[in-house]
Amino acid sequence: MGKGVPDRAEAYELLQEYNKNESLIKHALTVEAVMRHFALMLGEDVEKWGVIGLLHDIDYEMYPEQHCIKAREILAGRGWPEAYIHAVESHGWKLCCNVEPIEKMEKVLYAIDELTGLIAATAVMRPSKSILDMEVKSVKKKWKQKGFAAGVNREVIEEGAGMLEIELDTVIEETIKGMQEVAEEIGLKGNI
């Protein structure tokens, strides 16, 4: 490409080119669904937000040491618009790069990326092993257990919610809803 706006089919093809790890692909599909959900809720561009969610970790599997750095090279090489590249980079703010989330889309991505990991880890611990009947309080309970999903940076999620000026509980609730829409694809349908 090089002209116009990247669409979902093109983004998915690129994802498959750089990601073979099944759990990373599920994570990409998860973040895509949540980004689409928030875009719809906030009256924003659903396709654009979805594509950015799908590709936000494009460089992680092949270049974990250069996460968010290689992404620019890959996406710019395909002629992707700067707004998309900046959004992908900014989810690693203070973690692996110094590109600050500015746009609403970027703040949502920053807030929900780690959160989806905590929610997924919480879902599989439930008797139903499902996200479909999950409530915010289940996540809040696990949130407080620092040893649970210890790799999930709670401060980043809080900071993201703060930047968005949306209550943390609402961010959690809407992230669960977004994930419920793709429960089957991301392996969180459980036994429901």
Shorter beta-carbon distance to Fe ion: residue 96 or 128: 96
Smallest distance, Fe ion to C-beta of residue 4, A: 26
Smallest distance, Fe ion to C-beta of residue 91, A: 7
Q: How far apart are CA 13 and CA 127, in angstroms?
A: 36
Structural contact between residues 181 and 33, judged by C-beta atoms closer than 8 angstroms: yes
Q: Does 174 bind Fe ion (CB under 5 A)?
A: no
Tokens of 62: 């092949």
Residues of span 44-83 touching Fe ion by CB under 5 A: 57
Smallest distance, Fe ion to C-beta of residue 3, A: 28
Q: Max Cα separation, the chain?
A: 49
Tokens of 120: 């997924």
Structural contact between residues 36 and 50, judged by C-beta atoms closer than 8 angstroms: yes
Structural contact between residues 150 and 161, judged by C-beta atoms closer than 8 angstroms: no
Shorter beta-carbon distance to Fe ion: residue 57 or 106: 57
Binding string to Fe ion for residues 97 to 136, with x set by CB under 5 A, is what? Answer: ----------------x-----------------------
**What residues make contact with Fe ion under the rule CB under 5 A?**
57, 113
